[in-house]
């Protein structure tokens, strides 16, 4: 009848997503029924509550531009005057994920959730499917496309849930559903909400078939504005449901062999100490393997079923969220929902660390060193007997960065020769040639030590290589337990060691007043565009790189790059002129210098 992935295969696909953006791509197709191009068009302003109060969130799907065709699973949209093609319903957990992602990325109401090309969307799905295939036998064997995920959406509602075919047809934007189509009238958004919305006994997370209300309070705790302790808030939220009797958050203690309990709900720390949860339990495996771990009952959980899911973001594992069930074992559906909650919590913890670092009067200064021959900067500095300063790194993709380098003691041709010999380093571009060196950029696959530290919530102040050794100095918020960070980096990058750690007062000159005043004005994309343009020589005269060259280096279209760069420049200039402009406007109700 309707083709698509089964529940296990879809679950494996979602779990294999290594970034929130990749997870959103998969879920927008598989749980909201969006086409490839539609995924790149939806923005925060399109997500809204159903006026009927049916307990659902509606996602308005913008219509394709004239002449734009979809991804092959439906006819091209007709030329229409309306901006919105249709509305679909998103599960509560996906809606919460979209809200959290928009907040953490600083997206404006009109900024797309997934600001990449349709082709890149297809690649993200394909790459995620490849990861799933390497991790579990439940992964689909055939090539997975957004079209297959849309069929999964249809299959779940039509076959598994027996939803009114009219709702499925209109939510997914299909032209017809076989021979039934001539007899079916269109449904508007409110009717869709009533048809597809989950009630108290239905699934709030579209990846599962069991009640999602048991996990929903945890998502609601995350979406509250600025909880002072998100870990404690999530644990308390989960125990509001009768399904869970206990919840706590475990994080790796110094040394890594034991864990410490950071927050509890439904159980006190003394009870957990009696059970010796710090020495053993599934939460340790969840932290080490970065994957959910279930148990049907152990001493540490009071003999009751439990599950532990990692709270991680971009390779930084902050700990494990542990919940104990009141009775029945935790099924796969609930585990999937909790795993999504853990990923959301991991991202929020990372964001909180960035905020702490921004406002802290003191910082923990750490120095890492690497001598591994596989490290590109170490090899290049030794081979060419030169010194390399890392000026900046800019994210190109989920797993790719572009590094901007200043090289002293080696010319571009010599440096290019080393690039060609190193795996995972490519696309060498010369920005400026000097008498004693050059400025250049390279494309790095597989991540970098600097990006890993930034993702852990650090500010990297210095990164350089000389004599075959890499030195990176970074600041963490005061009181940060650096040891787990160092352990994680050592697992990911061979040869990395923690050379020093000390608490230092933050200098008032660390950042200028100008930067302090406007740093929070930029979104991640705007900052990436501004940084790439600056370090790529776009603002130099003569220019070291054209706008098209910088956009190509970032793997985005020229219009997209110009859009983010213009907004970043406007934010920068607002920080310079805003105060004077406000003062001028107060003087006599007009802007000084405006035409009379």
Are residues 374 and 322 part of one domain? no
Q: Residue 507 gets which letter from DSSP? A: P
Are residues 542 and 501 part of one domain? no
The pLDDT confidence band at residue 438, using thresholds 50, 70 and 90, is very high
Are residues 127 and 12 part of one domain? yes
Which pLDDT does position 372 carry in this prediction?
63
The answer to whether residue 210 is domain-embedded is no
What would the mean pLDDT of 333-356 be, rounded to a whole number?
78
Residue 487 CB-density burial (10 A; 0-12 exposed, 13-18 middle, 19+ buried): middle
Quick one: CA torsion of 384, 390, 391, 397, rounded to 10 degrees?
120
Evaluate if residue 443 carries a pLDDT over 60. Answer: yes
Q: Are 16 and 144 in contact (CB under 8 A)?
A: no
- Compare 239 and 78 and report the one with higher pLDDT: 239
Q: Are 347 and 20 in contact (CB under 8 A)?
A: yes
pLDDT in tens, 384-427: 999 999 887 777 765 677 888 999 999 998 898 888 887 778 88
H helix or E strand, kind and range, residue 533 = helix 524-535
Tell me the CATH number at 516. 1.10.10
- Compare 331 and 400 and report the one with higher pLDDT: 331
Are residues 573 and 432 part of one domain? no
Are residues 536 and 498 part of one domain? no
Which residues have C-beta within 8 Å of that of residue 53, sequence separation ≥ 6?
A: none
The answer to whether residue 240 is domain-embedded is yes
Are residues 181 and 36 part of one domain? yes
The answer to whether residue 26 is domain-embedded is yes
Q: Are 30 and 153 in contact (CB under 8 A)?
A: yes
* Residue ranges making up the domain that contains 74: 7-196
What would the mean pLDDT of 108-126 be, rounded to a whole number?
89
The answer to whether residue 250 is domain-embedded is yes
Long-range contacts of 181-189 (CB under 8 A, 24+ apart): 188/87, 189/50, 189/58, 189/60, 189/87
What would the mean pLDDT of 313-319 be, rounded to a whole number?
72
The answer to whether residue 459 is domain-embedded is yes
- Compare 530 and 507 and report the one with higher pLDDT: 530
Of 34-43, 57-66, 173-182, give the range with the top mean pLDDT: 34-43
Q: Are 340 and 93 in contact (CB under 8 A)?
A: yes
Which pLDDT does position 519 carry in this prediction?
56
What are the C-alpha distances in Å from 297 to residues 49, 193, 282, 293?
40, 39, 11, 12
Are residues 51 and 190 part of one domain? yes
Total domains in the fold of the chain: 4
Distance of CA 515 to the CA centre of its chain: 25
Sign of CA dihedral 117, 118, 123, 128: positive
pLDDT in tens, 193-244: 655 554 333 333 433 334 455 777 777 777 664 546 788 888 888 888 888 8
Q: Calculate helix-pair angle for 332-359, 216-223, nearest 10 degrees.
A: 20
Are residues 459 and 313 part of one domain? no
Which pLDDT does position 548 carry in this prediction?
86
- Compare 18 and 437 and report the one with higher pLDDT: 437
pLDDT in tens, 262-292: 888 988 888 888 888 877 777 878 877 778 8
Are residues 546 and 414 part of one domain? no
Collapsed DSSP state (helix, strand, coil) of residue 441: strand
Are residues 595 and 464 part of one domain? no
Among 299, 328, 359, the domain boundary falls at 359
Among 508, 526, 548, the domain boundary falls at 508
- Compare 396 and 591 and report the one with higher pLDDT: 396
Which pLDDT does position 360 carry in this prediction?
59
- Position of tokens 């994210």? 395
Which pLDDT does position 207 carry in this prediction?
37
Which pLDDT does position 54 carry in this prediction?
52
The answer to whether residue 463 is domain-embedded is yes
The answer to whether residue 201 is domain-embedded is no
- Compare 172 and 43 and report the one with higher pLDDT: 43
Least confident of 20-34, 109-123, 163-177: 163-177
Which pLDDT does position 142 carry in this prediction?
56
Give the length of the chain. Answer: 596
| Encoded tokens for 443 | 């494309």
Rounded CA separation 240/232 (Å): 13
Are residues 114 and 153 part of one domain? yes
Evaluate if residue 383 carries a pLDDT over 60. Answer: yes
Evaluate if residue 585 carries a pLDDT over 60. Answer: no
Among 484, 508, 532, the domain boundary falls at 508
Are residues 446 and 381 part of one domain? yes
Tell me the CATH number at 261. 3.30.450.40
The answer to whether residue 204 is domain-embedded is no
Which pLDDT does position 593 carry in this prediction?
31
């Amino acid at each position: 009848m309707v083709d698509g992935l089964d529940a296990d295969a879809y679950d494996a696909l979602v779990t294999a997503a290594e970034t929130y953006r990749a997870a959103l791509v998969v879920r927008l197709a598989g749980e909201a029924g969006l086409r490839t191009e539609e995924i790149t068009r939806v923005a925060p302003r399109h997500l809204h509550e159903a006026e009927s109060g049916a307990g659902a969130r509606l996602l308005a799907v913008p219509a394709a531009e004239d002449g734009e065709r979809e991804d092959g699973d439906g006819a091209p949209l007709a030329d229409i005057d309306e901006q919105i093609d249709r509305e679909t319903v998103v599960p509560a957990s996906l809606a919460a994920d979209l809200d959290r992602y928009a907040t953490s990325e600083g997206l404006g109401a009109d900024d797309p959730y997934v600001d990449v090309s349709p082709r890149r969307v297809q690649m993200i799905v394909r790459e995620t499917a490849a990861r799933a295939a390497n991790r579990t036998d439940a992964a689909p064997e055939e090539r997975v496309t957004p079209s297959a995920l849309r069929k999964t959406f249809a299959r779940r509602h039509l076959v598994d849930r027996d939803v009114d075919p009219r709702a499925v047809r209109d939510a997914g934007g299909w032209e017809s559903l076989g021979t039934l189509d001539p007899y079916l009238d269109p449904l508007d958004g409110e009717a869709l909400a009533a048809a597809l919305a989950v009630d108290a006994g239905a699934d709030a997370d579209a990846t599962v078939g069991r009640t999602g209300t048991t996990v929903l309070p945890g998502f609601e705790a995350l979406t509250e504005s600025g909880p002072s302790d998100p870990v404690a808030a999530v644990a308390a939220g989960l125990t509001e449901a009768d399904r869970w009797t206990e919840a706590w958050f475990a994080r790796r203690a110094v040394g890594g062999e034991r864990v410490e309990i950071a927050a509890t709900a439904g159980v006190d720390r003394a009870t957990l100490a009696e059970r010796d949860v710090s020495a053993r339990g599934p939460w340790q495996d969840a932290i080490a393997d970065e994957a959910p771990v279930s148990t049907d009952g152990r001493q540490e959980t009071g003999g009751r079923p439990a599950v532990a899911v990692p709270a991680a973001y971009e390779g930084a594992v902050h700990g494990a969220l542990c919940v104990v069930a009141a009775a029945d074992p935790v099924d796969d559906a609930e585990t999937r929902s909790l795993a999504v909650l853990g990923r959301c919590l991991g991202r929020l913890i990372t964001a909180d660390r960035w905020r702490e670092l921004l406002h802290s009067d003191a910082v923990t200064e750490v120095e890492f060193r690497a001598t591994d021959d596989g490290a590109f900067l170490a090899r290049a500095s030794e081979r060419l007997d030169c010194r390399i300063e890392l000026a900046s790194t800019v994210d190109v993709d989920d797993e790719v960065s572009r590094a901007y380098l200043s090289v002293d003691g080696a010319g571009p041709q010599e440096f290019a020769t080393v690039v060609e010999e190193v795996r995972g380093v490519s696309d060498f571009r010369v920005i400026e040639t000097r008498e004693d060196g050059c400025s250049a950029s390279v494309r790095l696959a597989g991540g970098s030590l600097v990006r890993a530290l930034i993702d852990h919530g650090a500010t990297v102040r210095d990164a350089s290589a000389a004599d075959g050794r890499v030195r990176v100095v970074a600041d963490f918020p005061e009181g940060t337990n650096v040891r787990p960070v160092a352990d994680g980096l050592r697992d990911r990058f061979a040869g990395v060691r923690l050379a020093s750690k000390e608490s230092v007062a933050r200098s008032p000159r660390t950042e200028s007043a100008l930067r302090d005043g406007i740093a929070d004005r930029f979104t991640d994309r705007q900052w990436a565009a501004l940084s790439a343009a600056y370090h790529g020589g776009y603002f130099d005269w003569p220019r070291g790189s054209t706008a098209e060259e910088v956009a190509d280096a970032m793997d985005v279209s020229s219009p997209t790059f110009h859009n983010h760069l213009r907004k970043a420049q406007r934010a920068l200039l607002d920080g310079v002129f805003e105060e004077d402009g406000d003062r001028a406007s107060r003087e006599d109700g007009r802007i000084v210098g405006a035409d009379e």
